[in-house]
Chains A and B, each alone.
Chain A
Amino acid sequence: MNQLLQILKRNLYILVFLLLETLSLVLYFRNNQQPSARLYDMAAGLKGAFLSIGGDVRTKAVLKAENEALQEENAWLRACLETSRIPLWHLSDTVMDSLYSQRFIFLEARVVHATLNLANNYFVLDAGSSQGVEAGMGVVSPHGIVGIVDKVSEHFCSVLPVLHSQSLVSVRLADLGYSGSLSWPGVRYDEALLSDIPSHARIRIGEEVITSGLSAVYPGGIPVGYVEEVVSKEGEDFYRLKIKFSEDYHRIRNVYIVKDLYKEELESCRQVSGQI
């Protein structure tokens, strides 16, 4: 018995090691996707405030007002685009012209924190529930798409960017029209992988890739990137294409959160057809 205790005492550090390691791994895997909700709620307000002070210092004071005015105007102009509207003319039997209802609106926001070199990155924006942001909304930038809003606090929200191992975006080749899904293989922050393009398509290097508009997250026609290389081998049924993002996520600052005014209607319609 005494001997047993001696052995136990001598190897106590192994037990402590295993215990602490298990504890950290449990912590890590329970929060693998994203920072845990509880931790986030606790820290988000405080940290967001801290980070946006840092962000404010970086934004040159003179340019700030001008930028904001331009961004506001941009949000308005984007909302005016035809891709942001839903045609109402199927309701009418007389006038078939320019009858549109607003479908997407754009809320401006700034990126206050971004990671780029993790396998599961995340961004934090300075817009939250008080500005009408909800989880599941898409986020776009002047040159491309950014991601999907994940968690929302009062004045901030976190975004699962396209630079996340779980990210999947429905996109389309602009000229050819084939749609496929865009994922991020996780190595370089400027490259993505486009799969499910049928192999009879004649792909041109440099062809533009845009959002397909098949989801309620992004409006159709938003630029995503360019075809850089065809990776798949001969004889496969579907191509896999290496895409270069049109947005440089290193320099990203001003973004727009996309609100789909018809989202609920669309979702309920989907659910109904899912049940049938």
Chain B
Amino acid sequence: MQASLWSNIIRFVFLVLLQGLVLEHVDFPGSLHWMVYPLFIILLPFQLPAPALLLCAFLAGLSVDFLCDVPGLNAASATLAAFVRILYFKWRPATDVLHDSDPVGTPSPGKMGWGGFLYYSCWVILFFHLGYFFLDAFSFQHFFYTLYLTVGSSFLCLVSLVLAVTLFKSKGDMR
């Protein structure tokens, strides 16, 4: 439990700094945004109470906001992503995805199977980016362009998730 707490704190600091100080200042081809800190929301432990989960996501978003001068934008999308995560585990029977009936620890392919893990991550990532880009554009005028940004950036994020999970896998768990 103690180890899990520390690994989550380290993940928070590392991902938020990486996002706010480096990736927000990198122009990616095709105007895409490379978001990595939603990984933090995806990898928060199962046993975390829902309000605490929302608060963690909100704080992560807010920290990125403060680092890159768009107060509220990341906070709103991160909170939305955390909410989607909560709903996902509420509406989908746990036995459907997870091998354990009352799961503990970090969500990972080891516990949920690659299919289940990616399916779950897709929902969180997609809603995060939907929130982010539609709030940023704040109109449906360029609907398909915004949709393209959402899908493209979500894909990037998913790729970084798969990479991170594969690279940092240790003893069947992440970091």
Interface residues of A (CB under 8 A from B): 12-13, 16-17, 20-21, 23-32, 35-36, 39-40, 43, 47, 113, 116-119, 122, 185-187, 189, 250
Contacts and interface: CB of A to CB of B under 8 A. Distances in A.
Given A17-B82, A185-B141, 7 more contacts: A13-B51, A13-B86, A24-B62, A27-B65, A28-B73, A186-B141, A186-B142
Contacts of A47: 69
Interface stretch (B112-120, B132-140, B161-169): B132-140
Interface of B: 25, 27, 31-33, 50-51, 53-55, 58, 61-62, 65-66, 69-73, 75-76, 79-80, 82-83, 86, 135-138, 141-142, 145
Most buried by B among A28, A29, A250: A28
Given A21-B80, A36-B71, A187 B142 contact: yes
B145 to A, nearest CB: 6
Contacts of B82: 17
Nearest to A54: B25
B76 A24 contact: yes
A185 B142 CA distance: 9
B86 A119 contact: no
Nearest to A124: B69
Contacts of A13: 50-51, 53-54, 83, 86
A144 to B, nearest CB: 19
B72 A12 contact: no
Contacts of A16: 50-51, 54-55
Given A13-B86, A29-B72, A187-B142, A20 B27 contact: no
Nearest to A189: B31
Contact of A31 (B33, B71, B76, B79): B71
10 contacts: A13-B54, A17-B83, A17-B86, A21-B79, A24-B75, A25-B76, A28-B70, A28-B71, A117-B31, A186-B137
A116 B24 CA distance: 11
Main secondary structure on chain A at its contact with chain B? helix
B33 to A, nearest CB: 7
Given A20-B54, A24-B61, A187-B145, A116 B31 contact: yes
Given A16-B51, A21-B76, A21-B79, A117 B71 contact: no
B31 A39 contact: no
B142 A116 contact: no
B54 A27 contact: no
A29 B66 CA distance: 15
Most buried by B among A40, A47, A119, A187: A119
B72 A24 contact: yes
B75 A118 contact: no
Contact of B135 (A28, A35, A185, A186): A28
Contacts of B66: 39, 43
A20 B145 contact: no
A253 to B, nearest CB: 14
B15 to A, nearest CB: 18
A16 B57 CA distance: 12
A110 to B, nearest CB: 16
Contacts of A36: 71
Nearest to B50: A13
A186 to B, nearest CB: 7
A40 B71 CA distance: 11
B58 A12 contact: no
Contacts of A116: 27, 31
Nearest to B65: A27
Given A13-B86, A17-B83, A117-B33, A26 B25 contact: no
B131 to A, nearest CB: 9
A23 B55 CA distance: 12
A175 B92 CA distance: 66
B70 A119 contact: no
A17 B79 contact: yes
A67 B23 CA distance: 29
A35 B50 contact: no
